[in-house]
Amino acid sequence: MERADFKEFKRLVVKVGTSSLTYETGKLNLAAMEILVRQLADLHNQGREVILVTSGAIGAGSGKLGLRRPPRTIPEKQACAAVGQGVLLHMYEKFLAEYGITAGQVLLTREDFSVRRRFLNARNTLTSLLQFGVVPIINENDTVAVDEIKLGDNDHLAALVAGLMDADLLLMLTDTDGLYTADPRNDPEARLIHWVDEITPDVEKLAGTAGSRHGTGGMVTKLQAARIATHSGVVTVIARSSVENVMRRVLDGEEVGTVFQAVPRRMEMRKQWIAYGASVAGKITVDAGAAQALREKGKSLLPSGVVAVEGRFGMGQMVSIVDPAGTEIARGLTNYSAAEIERIKGCKTAAVPEILGYRHFDEIVHRNNMVLKL
């Protein structure tokens, strides 16, 4: 694929960060929002399907409440989000209405991706909104999210949405031009990287740290999001939001931002959910032989290859499969509970009925219900 092919993209997810929507005071930058919405409206008028994943609710709320510092505790952040979400959506609705476009708010949490039924419901809802010509505006539901269910940053959320909706492009707009060879704030020799074929460990090292004062992310979270999106078959671009007509220029194939190439074969929806959506309920450690069989031969996990099990989980729940060194090699849906696996670990499949009194499945995790670590 080349940048010229971007002109054919029909469905895109645009993610905009807090730093691109607010001033240092935390209050909304209305001029920046208006420019953003004008570009979204133009893409919509071209016949493209546009989904916006927006940060800024907590920042908008803290500005509305007159806070002199960013909120620090979860309750403070939730209170700010409760105020800010209304402010944020109102402004998006106002600006979009000027172009005759309807906005639809969708608030999501981790559970909307980890529970299969809710995952599919979210997809159906967003699909219907697009069919009605609505621009969905998505944010994490910060008013109810806590550490256990919080996605953590809207970069991750945007990547999950892009995979969920089979998007052609994930465009992450931020306060930097893209991925550099070094931190441009500290190294005058740093160069912008225009194209990344694969997110390798060496590429990840370039991310550094750091989000803005009011944001939660940084280049680290954007690379993590790009990995999720590209392995879901979605081309990803990181670009500076303040670049004039940045959305049109990216889609016209101009050399703006950093492009992360999608893997050639899009992961099927169910596999995407296993790999990135579902919450892990426990861990299974396998021996070296089983690890090799999973990695290199695409085999299912049998009882004989299991050496240890951790956690309390039941049949059908998501488990992490790790090698003897503790490195995760796969995730999958287990056919047996943790208690059952503890009893049959290391045994031949033929011995399972004698130990448990039944054998519903030959495999602990079938290869069709498993995704290898990418």
Could you please report the per-residue DSSP string of 287-326?
A: -HHHHHHHHHH-PPBPGGGEEEEES---TT-EEEEE-TTS
Which residues of the chain are modeled with pLDDT < 70?
26, 142-153, 208-217, 374
Find out whether 237 and 260 touch, Cβ atoms under 8 Å: yes
Instruction: State the pLDDT at residue 246.
Output: 96
Look up residue 15 and give its DSSP letter: E
For 271, the token pair is 């596999």
Instruction: State the pLDDT at residue 117.
Output: 85
> How deeply is 33 buried, as exposed, middle or buried, from its count of CB atoms within 10 A (0-12, 13-18, 19+)?
buried
Interatomic CA distance for residues 344 and 351, integer angstroms:
8
3-state secondary structure of 84: helix
Measuring CA to CA, which residue among 350, 344, 242, 342 is closest to residue 283? Answer: 342
Tens of pLDDT, residue by residue over 45-73, are 999 999 999 988 888 888 888 887 778 88
Interatomic CA distance for residues 316 and 200, integer angstroms:
32
Which residues sit in the known binding site for ATP?
A: 15, 174-175, 216-222
Tens of pLDDT, residue by residue over 307-340, are 999 999 999 899 999 999 999 999 999 999 999 9
> Phi and psi dihedrals of 335, rounded to 5?
-90, -10
Instruction: State the pLDDT at residue 148.
Output: 42
H or E element: which one contains 41?
A: helix 30-45
Interatomic CA distance for residues 195 and 193, integer angstroms:
6
Instruction: State the pLDDT at residue 145.
Output: 55
* Domains present along the chain, CATH in parentheses: 3-271 (3.40.1160.10), 280-372 (2.30.130.10)
Fill in the amino acid letter for 253. Answer: G
Q: Tell me the pairing of strands 235-240 and 135-140.
A: unpaired
First to last CA, the chain: 21
DSSP string of 327-347? -EEEEEE-SS-HHHHHHHTT-
Instruction: State the pLDDT at residue 142.
Output: 60
Fill in the amino acid letter for 18. Answer: T
Sheet of strand 135-140, all strands in order from the earlier edge strand to the far edge: 103-108, 135-140, 49-54, 11-16, 169-174, 235-240, 258-260, 195-196
Measuring CA to CA, which residue among 330, 236, 239, 327 is closest to residue 278? Answer: 330
For 77, the token pair is 């952040």
Interatomic CA distance for residues 237 and 282, integer angstroms:
34
Interatomic CA distance for residues 187 and 189, integer angstroms:
5
Which residues sit in the known binding site?
A: 15, 55, 142, 154, 174-175, 216-222
Which residues sit in the known binding site for substrate?
A: 55, 142, 154
Find out whether 95 and 32 touch, Cβ atoms under 8 Å: no
- Residue 295 sits at the vertex; the CA angle it makes with 272 and 323, to the nearest 5 degrees, is 100
